[in-house]
Each structure stands twice: as structure tokens, then as C-alpha cells.
Amino acid sequence: MSDRADRKDAPVLVHDTLVQVLEYLRLQQDYHSLYQCSLASREFNKVASKALYTRVVLSPPFERVLDLKNRNKIKGSGLFDSACLPHNAGYVSILEIGGYLPTRPPSANPLGGALHNAIQSFFNVQHVAFVPLASHPDLFTDSLRALKNCQYLRSLDLNAASLGESGSTIVAEIGKLEKLTLRDPSRATLNILPEWLHKLSMSLTELHLRDNCGSITPGVLRSFLPYIRNITAFTLGLSYSLSDDDVFDFLDQLPELRSVSLHYYLQNKPRTVEPALPNLRALTVTYSPWDMQDGPLSQWVQHATSSSPSLECLRLVLDQRLGTGDILLNAGDSITEYVAAKYAGTLRVLEHKSAHVRTYTFDAFAARCHNIEVLALRSLGNDIESPESDAPSSRIEQATFIFKRLPSLRRLRLLGTTWERFWTSDTPASGANLVVREVVPRTPPWERSV
């Protein structure tokens, strides 16, 4: 009795506080701790289960040896299997299927039926991504049909492997989407896309055509315009069929755009069209290893943002799928000087992870860009061959040096390491002390491979 009384009088975390703590664990992708919390008590289990199953991912790694005896078990499917249980299905709002799925036909592959049943049981799902790296062409056919009945579905992400031969016709019947992402869109998908966009014209706010967009010609691009004039975010992958003028003329007719992602490639044809994007706040530019020259890339960025007075986020991303770009250094002085001159008062994020910026360029950048919160560079120093030669000796000293120069900076990525700042105080009278620590990336279970 005394033990029971002690337990009754023990302090209990307020539910709202518990939600915040476990949501932090979810954002940190600490699923092991979330699982342990779910075993603590009934109250913990209820809150931890919501955090655990809000996002369900099935992404099997590549298997070098095919196990013909294994017909049912998929590596890494534990989270997916438990999410399908009736008491967990209602928590799922994000479903992502990727990785290397079995390539057996649906008749010999139970995954197709399991996915179909999952779509029917996840009645609160809002975002679905079918982006496998390998699968049978007909694996997702029934699941795509079931998506029409998901009343809360607002975001859909598909690739060519999930659509197969007949999937494009099936998904064109899905309505009420706010965000649509198509990766490596095939010609069959592009043929039905204008009709689909017409159906989504009242709800769609984001359209993303990613990766290999070689089938998109100027005529195909123009066919989208009547139905997407109100979108605020747009992505276009690599298509050598499109010139800069084709792309900029298209963007010029979408004045509501706030976020744009484009794939840059070097062209000899001079540009004559400047996009009018007065509301642009975020620009992401993907480029290839052989298009890394700082001068042309900087000129292209300046041209693309010529009519955008309030850019807040600029990301330049090296497409490493097209080459071993990780070992390359790109001089990033021109772009850094440009954003410091034009967007000193508005810029919050600058990411150019393959760029080397000289010290005097960074000094000018730090003197003007007082609002920068996220900065990512490859290296810093006056000598591109040995960038640490004129900088502080250790990485932590370099990071601390940069944080002191940029008072609003929250996160820094330098020399492949991510750092963040926080403040400590020994006593109230001693004041706050700046502490810089390395952020250790946490790999979620579905991205771990053997």
C-alpha cells in the first residue's frame, strides 16, 4: 500500500510538456529514445506512439545477394509493419516508400498488398512519397488507386519507378493536392500532366519536377502555364532541351513565386530574358561538377535574381550523382560578394558547400550580412590549396572565429563538419559565454545499411 501511495504522490510531467520533449526527440530522429519512452507508462506510450508513427518510412538497403527463400520479410520493415496495426494507423500522416524493393511480380510479392492495405488504414495520411530506387513496375498500381480515397492527402511525391506503365493515368484522378512532386517524369506522365494540373488548379501551390527532366521541351513547359499561375514554389530539374530564355520566360509568368529550384548548366547562347520575380525569397541552384566555374555561375545567379529585392535564402548544390564532386573545390568569392552587396539586409541562409571563400571576402561578407543564420562553405582561407594556412589552427577555432564575426549565426557547416552555437553561464553575475559545439548527425533507422 505504501508503494502504491508513493507512486500516486510522485510528480508527473504535464502532458503539454511531455509532448514538447518527445517532439524534440522526433525532430532529432532519436527513435531509440522514443521507443524507450513508449515503454515507460501508458501516458508516455500514447504521446511517444504519435511521435513514432507520424512519419513512417520503408526504405530497404541494396542487397548484393538475392535470397530466394525469403519471400515475405523485407529488411527494415519493422516500423512499417507496426504502423499498420489498428491502434497505430491513425497516427500516420507521412508515408514514404523508397530504397530497393523486391522486383518480383505482385503475385509473388506480398508487399503490393501490404501497401494497398496500409493506404486504406492510414486514414489521416497527408503526405505520400513513392520513390523507390528499384521495384516491379506494377507494385504500386493498387496503392495509387487507393490514394483517391485519402480525404486528407495534400502532398504527393512520385518517381518513374513507382508509376510504371499505367500509373500516370491512375494518379491523374487524384484531386485536392497542394504539393505535387514528380521525379524523372516520363513522356507518358508529361502528356497527362496538363489535364491533371487543370484538376488541381484551385488547390495546388507547389509543383516540383525534379532530377532528369529531359522530356520537358519548351512546348511542354508552356502547356503548364494556364493552370499554375498561382503557385508559390516551383522546381525544374535538368533538361538540355530548355535554354535559359525558355526557363526565365516561363518563370516571368509566375509572379507569385516565392521559392524556386533550378538546375544550371553552362550555355553559350546569350540570355535575353530576365525573370520578373519580385516575391522571390528562396533560390536553390543545382549544378554539375563540370559547371563549377565561379564566374559563369555567379553571373547566372545574378541574372536570375535581378528583379528580386528581398532574397532570404540562397542554396547552391553540387549534383554529386553526375561525378565525384565531393573532392573538388569551387572558388565562391564572386557569389559571396554579390549577395553581400545586394542582400545584406535580408539574407538569412547561404549554402555553398563546395565553395572555398577567401578570408578577405568573408570579412567583407561578415561586415555587412548581420542577419545571416545558416552558413555552409567548404573551406575558408586565402590559399585555396591549403585553406587553413591563414586561419585559426583547429576546426573548432575556425568555427568559433566565424560565430563571433556573425552574431545571428545559428548553424555553420565548414570542412564537412556542422557546428552550432549556444550560451552558458556559471553564475548570474558572470554573464553568458559563447560555446561552439559540433553537431553529430543522427542517421535514422531506414537510412542505415550494412
Q: What local confidence, expressed as pLDDT, does residue 385 receive?
A: 53
Indicate the range of 66-70, 114-118, 402-406, 411-415 predicted with least confidence.
Answer: 66-70
Check whether 271 has a pLDDT greater than 70.
yes
Check whether 129 has a pLDDT greater than 90.
yes
Q: What local confidence, expressed as pLDDT, does residue 386 receive?
A: 53
Q: Tell me the mean pLDDT in the region 261-277.
A: 90
| Confidence at 56, pLDDT banded by 50, 70, 90 | very high
Q: What local confidence, expressed as pLDDT, does residue 65 receive?
A: 64
The dihedrals phi and psi of 415, each to the nearest 5 degrees, come to: 55, 40
Q: What local confidence, expressed as pLDDT, does residue 450 receive?
A: 36
Q: Tell me the mean pLDDT in the region 281-296.
A: 87
* Domain positions in the chain: 13-52
Supply 189's cell numbers. 506522365
Q: What local confidence, expressed as pLDDT, does residue 339 receive?
A: 95
Residue-wise pLDDT tens digits, 59-96: 888 877 666 565 556 776 788 989 999 999 999 999 99
| Confidence at 302, pLDDT banded by 50, 70, 90 | very high
As a whole-number percent, the residues of the chain with pLDDT over 90 amount to 54
| Confidence at 362, pLDDT banded by 50, 70, 90 | very high
Q: What local confidence, expressed as pLDDT, does residue 18 receive?
A: 81
Strand, helix or coil for residue 131: strand
Tell me the pLDDT of the chain averaged across its residues. 86
Residue-wise pLDDT tens digits, 136-180: 989 999 999 999 999 999 999 999 999 988 889 999 999 999 999
The closest alpha carbon to 139, from 102, 106, 99, belongs to 106
Residue-wise pLDDT tens digits, 229-254: 999 999 999 999 999 999 999 999 99
Give alpha helix (H) positions in 147-293: 160-163, 167-171, 187-200, 218-223, 244-252
Contact, 291 vs 297, CB < 8 A?
yes
Instruction: Report the alpha-carbon distance of residue 222 to residue 228 in Å, rounded.
Output: 11
Q: What local confidence, expressed as pLDDT, does residue 132 receive?
A: 94
Q: What local confidence, expressed as pLDDT, does residue 1 receive?
A: 38
DSSP-derived letter for residue 60 is P
Query: Which residue is it, cell 506510450?
Result: 45
The closest alpha carbon to 312, from 270, 281, 266, belongs to 281
| Confidence at 381, pLDDT banded by 50, 70, 90 | confident
Beta strands at 417-424 and 433-438: parallel, antiparallel or unpaired: antiparallel
The closest alpha carbon to 129, from 107, 145, 113, 153, belongs to 153
Q: What local confidence, expressed as pLDDT, does residue 327 receive?
A: 43
